[in-house]
Structure 1
Amino acid sequence: MSTMRGAAAYGRGAGAYARVGVESGVMSASPHQLIVMLFDGAQGAIRAARIHMQAGNVAEKGKSISKALDIVNNGLLAALDTEKGGEIAERLGSLYDYVSRLLLAANLHNDQESLDQAEQLLEDIASAWREIGVTGAQG
């Protein structure tokens, strides 16, 4: 086997291993942990978008922002239960909508400030969410 084939096979194997690890983490996670994972994923995508934006890599910046938007809209926003969550869920929904608009503006105008603001808002919510988990685990 050539060195290139070996490296490609290793890369595929490592990718499969990582997917299994992620899938295992998701399968064993509580609903609270799943939301934390969504926040982590969105923040990671925003950090990647920032790096691509600074490097002038427009296509990869767009992919990273799209990933963050997908997580915010189809993960965090979709997970809200307005019947049980009431006003808090509605306010979070409005906040997630605002974060989405910031991410779209960041992508459209290469606006790092909008990207930073979206990341900070998600971090504020995520840190509160993590604190709820710590308090719940102790209580």
Structure 2
Amino acid sequence: MFGSTPSGANAYAKVGVETGVTSASPHKLIVMLFEGAMVAVASGIQHMQAGDIAKKGMAISKAISIIDNGLRASLDKKVGGDIALNLDALYEYMSNRLLIANLKNQPKILEEVYQLLKGLKDAWQTITPPAEQQAQAQPPMQAEPKAHAYDPLAPQQSRLVKA
């Protein structure tokens, strides 16, 4: 009647991811793309070792899609200069290696790509934009209470008379 628990958990996880994406900074979105690609590659390794060809292909295709349509697409080659061009070449290399790993069932290639993604993600995480540094350093501002507003949950002064 209400569906299975795994589908409910998946729906809940999807909402959590979507909420994270909509509230994330561009810097955090790149980290999320690295993490998603890494999960897909790790899943591809597991499915390859288990002999599940269909799931292996889907996981590797997902990793390629994240790299090509997420990470590569986010590069601004005009502003990024040599760094952006080198990253573009590295992303292309990773996509090609994933394709070869899928065709030839070579988990070592998947592990190579996983390590490349992990290294890039770790490096990216060490670079925190100034706006995020400031947000992390300062606690969120709280609204000032109104001067004469009545708050029934606020502590009240005792009316007891001391003897």
Distance 1:82 1:58, change over 3 A: same
CA RMSD of aligned residues (A): 1.8
- Structure label with greater radius of gyration: 2
What one-letter code is carried by the residue in structure 2 that aligns with 1:34?
Answer: L
Distance (whole Å) between structure 1 residues aligned to residue 80 and residue 96 of structure 2: 23
**How big is the shift at 1:27?**
0.4
Does residue 93 of the first structure (1) align with residue 88 of the second (2)?
yes
Q: How many equivalent residue pairs?
A: 134
Residue of structure 1 aligned with 2:27, choices 16, 27, 32: 32
List gaps (5 residues or longer) in structure 1.
none
Residue of structure 1 aligned with 2:110, choices 93, 106, 115: 115
Distance (whole Å) between structure 2 residues aligned to residue 69 and residue 93 of structure 1: 13
| Larger fraction in helix | 1
**How big is the shift at 1:83?**
0.9
Is the CA contact (8 Å cut-off) linking 2:27 and 2:129 kept in structure 1? no
1:18 alignment partner in structure 2: 13
Distance (whole Å) between structure 2 residues aligned to residue 118 and residue 12 of structure 1: 30
**How big is the shift at 1:68?**
0.1
Residue of structure 1 aligned with 2:99, choices 99, 104, 122: 104
Is the CA contact (8 Å cut-off) linking 2:64 and 2:95 kept in structure 1? yes
* Cα displacement string for residues 62-98 of structure 1 (whole angstroms, at most 9, x for unaligned residues): 0000000000000000000001101100000000000
Under a length normalisation based on structure 1, what TM-score does the superposition of the two structures give?
A: 0.89
List gaps (5 residues or longer) in structure 2.
135-163
What one-letter code is carried by the residue in structure 1 that aligns with 2:78?
Answer: E
What one-letter code is carried by the residue in structure 1 that aligns with 2:77?
Answer: T
1:133 alignment partner in structure 2: 128
**How big is the shift at 1:138?**
4.2
